[in-house]
Structure 1
Amino acid sequence: MPRVRLRSVACAAAIALGLGAFSALPASAEPRHTQKDPTAIGTGGAVSSVDPEATAAGIEILRKGGNAVDAAVATAAALGVTEPYSAGIGGGGYFMHYDAKSGKVSTIDGRETAPAGIAHDAFIDPETGEPYNFTPELVTSGVSVGVPGTLATWQRALDNWGSQNLKQVLRPATQIASRGFVIDETFREQTLDNKERFAAFTSTSELFLPGGDAPEVGSIFKNPDLAHTYRMLAKQG
């Protein structure tokens, strides 16, 4: 088997060369402190993401016979749990697929789409005639919400090139959301940056601001509602 040397990048990516992979605990393991290592060496396959929990989720899928597309979706789903400020099913993105046999590159555009009935002046304050302030008014309001494309992107990628179904690839992320993951400094800082916005919504503040403050570094963060959503998607599509 070829050896794989992988340098970590700040995005979800998966490269499947076989069923083996460098050592990592499964996503179903107990909450743990995760050390970020910029270089890993192994055989059989590789997964890279900004978060060790998400990387472990992708590796778990490879070990269970999944291919690169299956692992990429599993990794992205896990990032929606551990990196909610930069990933998640409420947004959109792009998916790029490379077929090594044919050399063909295919892409899916899954960016958010504006609602069909949105007005051309939706971002203009009728009282002033000027655009709303971007932060915090516009980004917090429903005015700037687009129709998410992430889930449709995952499903189309699996339909086109995957070997596992959505239920299988969502399982590691669901387990992480249920058992929790270890809070790092970045997560706490990003939560504090949004403290004022989050405080305006009871359900959001209950999750991200328990006791009125962001979770402490080293504590365990669980997201049972997201776990429930993933289970529902796994069951109903």
Structure 2
Amino acid sequence: MSPYMAGLFILFSRLSEGFELNGLTASASTEYSATFLAENAVDGNVTTGWMSSKTASYSYILVDLHGYYVVNTITIFAGPTFDESRRSDNAAVKLLFSSDPSSPYTCSCGTSPSSVPMGSSFVITCTSGCSARHLIVSKSASLSFAEISVNASHIATNYVQTQGQVVSTPYVTTTTSTASECSVVCFNTPGCRAFSFKGSIGDCQVTKVTGVNVASDWVTYTPSPDDVLLHSQCSMPFHDCC
């Protein structure tokens, strides 16, 4: 039996057109009061919202997408009923793997307009096709939003998991918490052909060429024979192989 057939097939949904994500949760650097909590920015109600402390020198709201996605657009609504909506201007919008707001970002999607009238909304387009688990909106001042809406797409390919192998020629070597995050590194690496993950220490190696070495404590993930591995279709991060 070939390594492809012997491995565990991990199937992912096909790349979709894009859809609005539901079930988002959020945390923030500060909250102005119990009326303006971070969770209000993702509750689907544009008449509620989040505000940071008025005196904050740096503010952020961190949104958990509860899965890895390619983020297409982020729509942000300014508050219609509170006069703090001017704080939505000039805010940086970035994507992250980690829930740590200080961690390196995978993509910078852009900046909110320099003027955001009360009750208005604006759309940030993430054009680079990066995938992430979290998004962060931040500013070196106070900040507020009524609602954040995220349109995203699933990533798709069929992968075969092979125990006891590591890629022989790594192009990227990094550390990730899970194999899911390692697969996102693969997706964000143009020309990725496979990746290996060593769960005991969180080592992640991504390769652009074929070839593996025997290594008992590694697992390698490669596309199944009937799939074509493209940069835009490297992996849908999985949740049962960590």
Q: TM-score, normalised by structure 2?
A: 0.24
Report 1 or 2 for greater relative contact order, CA contacts < 8 Å, sequence distance ≥ 6: 2
Higher helix residue share:
1
Query: Larger Rg: 1 or 2?
Result: 2
Higher strand residue share:
2
